[in-house]
């Protein structure tokens, strides 16, 4: 069985009617804008592409997220934001009746979402919560995690807004909600349910809200954004401006592979050439080539840079692995777009 990236003769902004756009690592990096993001999203909108920003961060409310994006020259309304806090509240509804007690361990965005879902928010395990809703907040401290552990150990249902281990900031990668959730898991031995990506819940909620027929997921993380796209059956564009690198894409398993690859959000406005198989195991894309030989990735003589060599490398690696060949990670060089 072979596998490859998809191709499109038309820019993706002209093919799809909704873009489900991740925030950290795609639209911005911490408090800093990402190059070409605002201009590219603005141009995509003029072409008729609707946007919903879908984030695993449950600490901020949609109004706050919209304000930050607008301040970065990406004008956004609150109803164009879908947060993991909203997805977490939606997951609680699957088991809890309105009025149930929920211990919220997280930011105000999660507190608001749980309250609006009809639950009584409590602050202590001694209040007898039916569930613990845990989301990221930079203000979380040991006492908060301890209350969550006490409640979960006492039988409360543990629901995490997401399990991202890291969070991209302007200074680098910081511990994400998954790292904080792991502390509660270590103390209790109870594995929580998760509402955020890679579960496709938020994507489905956003698609239903807009009534889209041809959605496209855009993200920087293979293990959350693109895995969620795969899980939901949505095509996914991986941009190389955040956590997951080009090399990560080459080594990705089937459940995390993107359908399209781009250096940044300008790739929304460009055609995507499809890689094709050539002779002697080579895969080619727009003049660049790659193949797997004896467990190592071999590139053409033009070097490891350029988005088309990354696309060719992904096609070659995925095809080889899916056909049963071994690919040694040590044999995959760093690639840049």
Average pLDDT over residues 7-36: 95
3 falls in which pLDDT band (50, 70, 90)?
low
Kindly state the percentage of the chain with pLDDT values over 90: 91
Q: Are 83 and 60 in contact (CB under 8 A)?
A: yes
pTM score: 0.88
Question: Does residue 24 have an active-site annotation?
Answer: yes
Catalytic residue among 9, 22, 294, 308: 22
Catalytic residue among 24, 223, 225, 264: 24
Q: What is the pLDDT of residue 170?
A: 81
Identify which has the larger pLDDT, 166 or 298: 298
Whether 93 shows a pLDDT value over 80: the answer reads: yes
Question: Does residue 22 have an active-site annotation?
Answer: yes
Distances (CA, A) of 182 to 44, 86, 176, 178: 39, 21, 10, 6
φ and ψ of 177, to 5 deg: -60, -35
Q: Are 312 and 288 in contact (CB under 8 A)?
A: yes
DSSP β-ladder status, 172-175 and 28-29? unpaired
1 falls in which pLDDT band (50, 70, 90)?
very low
């Amino acid at each position: 069985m072979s596998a490859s990236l998809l191709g499109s003769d038309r820019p993706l902004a002209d093919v799809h009617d909704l873009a489900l756009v991740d925030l950290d690592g795609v639209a911005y990096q911490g408090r800093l804008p990402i190059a070409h993001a605002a201009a590219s999203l603005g141009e995509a909108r003029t072409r008729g592409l609707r946007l919903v920003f879908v984030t695993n961060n449950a600490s901020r409310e949609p109004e706050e997220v919209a304000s930050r994006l607008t301040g970065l020259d990406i004008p956004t309304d609150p109803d164009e934001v879908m947060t993991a806090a909203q997805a977490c509240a939606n997951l609680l509804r699957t088991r809890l009746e309105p009025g149930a007690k929920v211990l919220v361990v997280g930011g105000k965005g999660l507190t608001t979402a749980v309250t609006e879902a009809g639950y009584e928010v409590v602050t202590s395990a001694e209040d007898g919560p039916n569930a613990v809703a845990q989301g990221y907040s930079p203000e979380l401290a040991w006492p908060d995690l301890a209350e969550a552990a006490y409640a979960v150990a006492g039988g409360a249902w543990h629901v995490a807004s997401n399990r991202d281990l890291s969070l991209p900031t302007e200074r680098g990668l910081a511990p994400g909600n998954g790292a904080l959730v792991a502390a509660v898991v270590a103390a209790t031995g109870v594995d929580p349910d998760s509402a955020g990506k890679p579960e496709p819940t938020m994507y489905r909620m956003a698609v239903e809200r807009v009534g889209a027929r041809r959605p496209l997921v855009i993200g920087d993380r293979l293990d959350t954004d693109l895995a969620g796209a795969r899980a939901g059956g949505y095509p996914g564009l991986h941009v190389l401006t955040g956590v997951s690198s080009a090399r990560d894409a080459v080594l990705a398993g089937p459940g995390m592979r993107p359908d399209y690859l781009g250096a940044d959000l300008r790739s929304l406005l460009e055609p995507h050439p499809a890689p094709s198989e050539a002779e002697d195991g080579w895969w080619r894309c727009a003049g660049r080539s790659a193949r797997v030989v004896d467990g190592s990735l071999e590139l053409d003589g033009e070097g490891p840079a350029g988005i088309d060599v990354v696309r060719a490398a992904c096609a070659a690696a995925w095809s080889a692995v899916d056909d049963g060949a071994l690919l040694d990670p040590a044999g995959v060089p760093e690639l840049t777009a």
